[in-house]
Amino acid sequence: MSYGSPSHLRVGETVISAHTTVTEPDMTPTPIVPATNDNSAMASMSWLPEEVLLQIFLEVAMDCYEDDEDEDCFPLIKPYRWLAVTHVCRLWRMYAVHYPLLWTRIVVLRLESLRAMLERSGTASLSLSLREHFGRRGGKNEILRLIQANKHRIRHLHLHHPLRTAAISAGEYSGGLESVSLYSYRFSWKDSYLHPGLKSLSIRGEENRDFSTGPGALQQMFAALRRMQNLEEFTWDQPATANYYPDGDPGTVTLPKLRTLMHLGTADFCSSLLNRMSCPALTKLTLVAGISVDSEKAKLSSAMAWKVSREQTVVASDVKDMRTVWIRLDQPSIVLVRAWRALKAPVDVLNFRNTEDADLNVHINWYSGFAGPIGIGWDARAHLNVCPILPISGAQHIFFADATGDAIYTIIDLLLSPQWLSVPVLFLHRIDFASRHSLIQELAAALEVRPQILQVVISQCSGVRDEDIECLSAAVPDVEWVDHHVPESTLPRVDAGPPAVVSIGYLPSELILEIIEDYVNDSQDDPSEPHYQWIRVTQICRAWRHYALGHPTLWTRLEVTTAKWIQVMLARSGSEFLYVRFPDSTTMQPSTLHACVKLLLSPGNRQRIRHLGLNNCRRLKRVSEAEWSSALVSVDLNSYEFTWGDTFFHPPIQYLTVCGNYHRGLSTGTTAIRDMFNALRRMQSLVMLKLAQPVGDLLLPGFDTGPVVTLPKLQLLHVIGTWERCVLILDNLSLPALPALNITASVETVKQVAELSACLAWKLSGEKTRDPMSPDARTLQTLAIYINPLPNSIVFRGWTEYPPPGIVFAPENGNPELTLLLEWDGETGPNFNWGRTLEKICRVLPIRHIEHIYIMHAAREVVTFLPRLIFNDDFQTRGYVWPKIDTLMFYDVNFHPPPLGCTDVTDALWQRRGGMSKHGVRRVTLAKCPGLSPIEVRFFGSGCWGVVEWDHFQA
């Protein structure tokens, strides 16, 4: 669709001089006008006050950060994915960028993101998280320097696997540092962040916790804790090695403000630490301990009772504080108990996920008593040994959860034990009575001898019948059966007529499947998402699960992980075409990889594979030499050890991507250039071709690559490499139908750019001329230029029509016909003039005829280069870079601080005009450009003989 020219940007006019009009482009939020139709009761998001919007942004960001703090999922989750909410509209973006509190939680990944977060957070306090691979793309020293300079602002510090650095561990932190979390960090108890003002300290090791997280002895730890008298939360995972007191008796420590304490380690050592720490204000205690001998039970029991009773008694049975108790029974060697001092509602107990919400959390690994014969009650030995030693005898509400088989005996035995003399309410949740149906009668018998139980609630228990409820009702006055089971035939009906408020359950199945497919595509296109993470959307409800399992297309994208998943996906995908991707094979066991390849390459499955992706894989001989069918039309190779003789380079291929490491420092193939072109000759059906570093380092002058390769159907060519490689490929490929060209090249001289420009002119003209100035090469009508400061690079994007600004600003919404990224690897010494070099580059490219120019995303350093592009001193001998400019638009160009860039640019416009309208610019548009005021916009008007558009953006 052609828009003629960008004149539609103008909304209104205000005369500011005799010859110039300043107008506002249509880039501001739509004015809020009270609705007059029947939907006026439904408030738009635009009606929300700014404070409410910002609170929503904070909640979204907090959710993302809380997911990111989970060590198990961090490598797979983007900590800044919440930024998507700031891209909804420009109004939201403006609110977000100018709200410092939104940018205070920093996960250090790259230097650029750290700088942006520090700048946007202003002077607010920071929460800083440093991960293992921070700065892996360069700038590590600068990252540490920025952290050192902003230590006074850090309130929360999280170190996750980074190497020990003096910039973090040494140097003074301000009293504002309140929270420190260390995960597998080689810390010392003398590190400066362990200061007296600290309120929260968490120290954890690896998942198996088989080594100390720090080299310090217990004496050093206790000495450090004595300094931290303001500590309110303390987590200590595997606090020392097997030698308990390497430097002698550490003594005791009193922490008067400590409210939350968490210890992980052996039962013997956890008991010793609890006994040596006085915590009179303690309200929440979490223990993860292992018991291997019976003697450890008494020590752990007395230590827990001492803490839970706020240091009043060491006898567990004397502690009556815990009113609500939850016990999980599904694992014979693991005891999970949570307890609360208050009477909790069932929904809070059964659905709560945050273990820190409970006042007492106990996770006991029981290693004793499993050498004997297996018999009735064997599954319950751990619980029968551990529960009596816990300080939970005062429970009023007891929840038993997740029991099956002989483990159900645990409920009966515990009810008959003298531990709980008065339990008014008993909850049974997810108990599998179907495996031992006779146990319901035994449970009823146990309830008869415990008249104190007044109510039994049965929730989500399988194998329960009406007669069983009658049996239990004979022993207990009140039996409540909460059955959440729904018959299979009960699915949401879409023909029953919508209710007053339409539920998502009334959506047609086709629309539900489309929603799921969109989510699957987004999830699998995001490399940070775990494999098959999208399956969680099929578990929202049983109806969605039913629809998903009956829709084979959902199960066609296979990530090669395990043979089990391959079998599941193959079965659910039916006879649909498959999209197979092999991830990094170095992380897979050879036997697992062999089993997956064997399944996929069986004759029936191999015929269904439509897309094949090989990512960071060593050479898979069976894959490279398989007999592929014509169904395989797409191949994506990323750092795969292929040869151009591999069988998947066959005639039906339509989409081919060959790329190496992201820094493009290595060739992705070691074969000869001639082999590559011979392979391309066979692939006459190619529609898209991407070659990143496609040839070796040695380029011989006059090297014979054979006849020119004609690809009659190619629609997109993407080449990445040195200018020589790009020229070599462009000269040896004939592309009569090519509508889109994407080139990323490194250059050292303007002469090299000129040689590359001749190839571009050849392609843009439909292979008619190699002269960039020829009329046949003047196919582009609109040009967007992205100029970056050092490291010097420039991006040109060109369209053959006049696209609307929304497409120019976001080219992924409308791909340009030409994308050219030039990385300057030449001279950058003190005498180097990047502005003059940019002018020379623009002069040799086939873009000088273009009349609609967008200057975009230019930093303050770049603004000084713009006047030379608009008006050069020697224009009388060499002419202007662009002889005629109709529309000149500045988008996100930083003119701040004025008037450094603004004055020079307006002066260039004024000189270009020079009283001769044929050289002047007709329209100037200023959008999202900081550093401008109405007076400076008037200066733009003096150099423009038409109109000036300005959105009044203020940074």
Band (65; pLDDT cuts 50, 70, 90): low
Task: Please determine, for residue 184, whether its predicted confidence score (pLDDT) is greater than 70.
Answer: yes
**What is the percent of the chain where pLDDT is above 90?**
6
742-755: per-residue pLDDT in tens? 898 888 888 999 99
* Surface-to-core class of residue 108, CB atoms within 10 Å of its CB (0-12 exposed, 13-18 middle, 19+ buried): buried
Query: Of residues 148 and 858, which shows the higher confidence score?
Result: 148
- Of 30-34, 478-482, 751-755, which gets the smallest average pLDDT? 30-34
Query: Of residues 502 and 692, which shows the higher confidence score?
Result: 692
Rounded mean pLDDT of 898-918? 67
Residue 777 and residue 545: Cα distance in Å, rounded? 56
Band (39; pLDDT cuts 50, 70, 90): very low
Rounded mean pLDDT of 387-402? 86
Residue 106 dihedral angles phi and psi, to the nearest 5°: -110, 125
Band (136; pLDDT cuts 50, 70, 90): low
CA distances from residue 193 to 172, 238, 258, 260, 321 in whole angstroms, order as listed: 7, 21, 18, 20, 36
Rounded mean pLDDT of 175-203? 85
610-648: per-residue pLDDT in tens? 999 888 777 888 888 899 989 999 999 888 888 888 999
Q: What is the DSSP letter of 882?
A: S
Residue 447 dihedral angles phi and psi, to the nearest 5°: -70, -30
Question: pLDDT value at position 352?
Answer: 54
| Cβ atoms 781, 802 nearer than 8 A | yes
- Of 191-195, 306-310, 353-357, which gets the smallest average pLDDT? 353-357
Band (787; pLDDT cuts 50, 70, 90): confident
Rounded mean pLDDT of 754-778? 89
3-class SS of residue 150:
coil
247-273: per-residue pLDDT in tens? 456 678 899 998 888 888 788 888 888
| Cβ atoms 143, 108 nearer than 8 A | yes
Task: Please determine, for residue 370, whether its predicted confidence score (pLDDT) is greater than 60.
Answer: no
Residue 841 dihedral angles phi and psi, to the nearest 5°: -65, -45
In the 3-class helix/strand/coil scheme, how is 36-100 assigned residue by residue?
CCHHHHCCCHHHCCHHHHHHHHHHHHHHHHHHHCCCCCHHHCCCCHHHHHHHCCHHHHHHHHCCH
Residue 681 and residue 668: Cα distance in Å, rounded? 20
Rounded mean pLDDT of 132-161? 80
Question: pLDDT value at position 689?
Answer: 92
CA distances from residue 597 to 262, 413, 568, 581, 620 in whole angstroms, order as listed: 46, 51, 15, 11, 9
DSSP H helices, 601-717, are: 603-606, 621-624, 673-682
Question: pLDDT value at position 656?
Answer: 93
CATH number of 560-698+706-714: 3.80.10.10
Q: Show me where the domains of the chain are located.
A: 259-369+380-484, 505-555, 560-698+706-714
Task: Please determine, for residue 449, whether its predicted confidence score (pLDDT) is greater than 80.
Answer: no
857-875: per-residue pLDDT in tens? 777 666 667 777 777 655 5
Question: pLDDT value at position 392?
Answer: 86
Residue 792 dihedral angles phi and psi, to the nearest 5°: -65, 125
73-131: per-residue pLDDT in tens? 333 346 777 788 887 787 788 888 888 888 888 888 778 888 888 888 888 888 888 87
- Of 354-358, 576-580, 767-771, which gets the smallest average pLDDT? 354-358
Instruction: Check for a shared fold between 259-369+380-484 and 560-698+706-714.
Output: yes
Task: Please determine, for residue 397, whether its predicted confidence score (pLDDT) is greater than 80.
Answer: yes
The CB density around residue 675, as the number of other CB atoms within 10 Å, is 15
Type and span of the H or E element at 90: helix 90-97
Task: Please determine, for residue 502, whether its predicted confidence score (pLDDT) is greater than 80.
Answer: no
Fold of 259-369+380-484: 3.80.10
Question: pLDDT value at position 530?
Answer: 64
Band (590; pLDDT cuts 50, 70, 90): confident
Question: pLDDT value at position 72?
Answer: 41
816-867: per-residue pLDDT in tens? 888 898 888 887 777 777 778 888 888 889 988 888 888 887 776 666 677 7
529-539: per-residue pLDDT in tens? 666 777 778 77
The CB density around residue 890, as the number of other CB atoms within 10 Å, is 25
889-907: per-residue pLDDT in tens? 888 888 776 545 677 787 7
Band (374; pLDDT cuts 50, 70, 90): very low
Question: pLDDT value at position 213?
Answer: 39
Task: Please determine, for residue 35, whether its predicted confidence score (pLDDT) is greater than 70.
Answer: no
Question: pLDDT value at position 789?
Answer: 58
- Of 55-69, 277-291, 683-697, 918-932, which gets the smallest average pLDDT? 55-69
- Of 55-64, 176-185, 300-309, 774-783, which gets the smallest average pLDDT? 55-64
Band (917; pLDDT cuts 50, 70, 90): very low
Question: pLDDT value at position 788?
Answer: 66
Q: In 380-477, at which residue ranges do the beta strands (DSSP E only) sit?
A: 397-404, 425-432, 455-459
Nearest to 892 by CA among 100, 97, 81, 137: 97
Averaged pLDDT score across all residues of the chain: 76
Instruction: Looking at mean pLDDT, say which of 14-18, 450-454, 840-844, 857-861 comes out highest.
Output: 840-844
Question: pLDDT value at position 860?
Answer: 62
Residues in the chain: 955
